[in-house]
Structure 1
Amino acid sequence: MDEAEQDRAFAEAIDRFGPALARMARGYEADPDLRRDLEQDVQVALWQSFAHFDGRCALSTWVWRVAHNRATSHMLAHRRRNAPGWASLEDIEIADAAPSPFDAAESGQAMTLILSIVERLDPPDRQILLLYLEGVTGAEIAAVTGVSPDVAAARIHRFKTMLTRRFAAAGEAP
């Protein structure tokens, strides 16, 4: 792909996925300054990647794969000093005794709870759930993350079950 085609592909990707990429960055990075750095890193990586894009997969698959790979690299390179360690989806108990952001919030702040849970996940589970929250199909999640569609579906199902229990424990309708 020549540079003009690369520029066009990048512009289309940013036009179609820019807001979703910003939300993805929020799921990976809580610090606003580091989040802006991550968003810029993702954009640079995406632009560079189009030199190798040959159209064998959907544009959305390509964009998500590049973005999540860059976000994972960022996360590993910039571990938060005061953050607790990551955990797998199976290890997180949402209905613990510690107050969650949702306990004191209106139902309009449910995403705060969801993102606080996602921030605690290890990178593979985080990728799957952030893609799911963006409405990406299970098959495409599998293509982006490299897991089977059954594994992606199982992790999404566990996440939804955990959220249902957590919202029920808070007295909210799921």
Structure 2
Amino acid sequence: MPDPAPTARDEQSRRYEEAVAAFGPALDRLAVAYERDAERRKDLLQDIHFALWRSLATFDSRCALRTWVYRVAHNVAASHALRDHRRARECVGLDALEAASMAFDEDTMSSRLVEQLDDDRRRAQLAALIAQLIAPDRQLLLLYLEELNATAIGEVMGLSPANVATKIHRLKRVLARRALADRVPTPSQAAPVALPTAATSPSAPK
């Protein structure tokens, strides 16, 4: 007898397994970025996987599977972040972060500062920036770090590619300014200026 035709539930499970095989590590990274507490992070990841499996019952291939997975996952993660009222109050938008970094003028800033930082410092800078961002801006940066281009990010977030590209540029500028700030010594860190002494000063003219 021929094998029975796959049911809708079979197809849903097949799509879910395909999605997890392709994007499971990205979902893990997403959960880490949105939740610092280990137990709550496990709950968030479970919620993401359940929402993804349930949503795939209606997936009709009108968009790429990657777009669908990221859209569902980020919606769940953003809802999780909004439920944490204390944490949400600590987050700010890109406009506020950009304004706070304006002390470091773009003309004095090397475009390669971020690349010049060691890997640990760069990861710390990124983690700090991600933790401060409100959900939409955080979502955009995380998708960019997953190497999605502006068009793909726009499909996930419902933004135009031009809007996405502008926001990415602004986020990179904030990060570069922070890198510059990290390299500029504070007054307490700066080496003291040695005043001339009699032994080091040139002799006064007779």
Same fold (TM over 0.5): yes
Task: Name the aligned partner's letter for residue 123 of structure 2.
Answer: M
Deviations 1:54-81 (A, max 9, x none): 00000000000000011111111233x3
Tell me how far apart the structure 1 counterparts of residues 30 and 92 of structure 2 sit (CA, whole Å).
19
1:111 aligns with 2:123: yes
**Greater gyration radius:** 2
Tell me how far apart the structure 1 counterparts of residues 23 and 55 of structure 2 sit (CA, whole Å).
15
Of the candidates 120, 123, 138, which is equivalent to residue 132 of structure 2? Answer: 120
1:151 aligns with 2:163: yes
Tell me how far apart the structure 2 counterparts of residues 60 and 110 of structure 1 sit (CA, whole Å).
27
Q: Which residue of 2 aligns with 1:16?
A: 22
Tell me how far apart the structure 2 counterparts of residues 166 and 91 of structure 1 sit (CA, whole Å).
14
1:137 aligns with 2:143: no
Q: Which residue of 1 aligns with 2:183?
A: 171
Tell me how far apart the structure 2 counterparts of residues 155 and 82 of structure 1 sit (CA, whole Å).
23
Q: CA deviation at 1:118?
A: 1.1
Q: CA deviation at 1:82?
A: 6.1
Tell me how far apart the structure 2 counterparts of residues 51 and 146 of structure 1 sit (CA, whole Å).
22
Q: Which residue of 1 aligns with 2:82?
A: 76
Q: 1:151 to 1:51 in 2, by over 3 A?
A: same
Q: CA deviation at 1:94?
A: 5.1
Task: Name the aligned partner's letter for residue 9 of structure 1.
Answer: R
Q: Does structure 1 conserve the Cα–Cα contact (< 8 Å) formed by 2:33 and 2:130?
A: yes
Q: Does structure 2 conserve the Cα–Cα contact (< 8 Å) formed by 1:84 and 1:120?
A: no
1:34 aligns with 2:46: no
Q: 1:56 to 1:90 in 2, by over 3 A?
A: same
Q: Which residue of 2 aligns with 1:90?
A: 95
1:3 aligns with 2:9: yes
Q: 1:14 to 1:109 in 2, by over 3 A?
A: farther
Tell me how far apart the structure 2 counterparts of residues 134 and 71 of structure 1 sit (CA, whole Å).
16
RMSD: 2.2
Residue 170 of structure 1 aligns to a residue in which SS?
helix
Task: Name the aligned partner's letter for residue 53 of structure 1.
Answer: F
Q: 1:9 to 1:113 in 2, by over 3 A?
A: same
Q: Which residue of 2 aligns with 1:61?
A: 67
Tell me how far apart the structure 1 counterparts of residues 125 and 89 of structure 2 sit (CA, whole Å).
16
Task: Name the aligned partner's letter for residue 96 of structure 2.
Answer: D
Matched residue pairs, number? 163
Q: 1:115 to 1:94 in 2, by over 3 A?
A: farther
Residue 159 of structure 2 aligns to a residue in which SS?
coil
Question: Which stretches in structure 1 are left out of the alignment for 5+ residues?
Answer: 97-104
Tell me how far apart the structure 2 counterparts of residues 82 and 53 of structure 1 sit (CA, whole Å).
33
Query: What's the TM-score, normalizing by structure 2?
Result: 0.73
Q: Percent identity?
A: 44
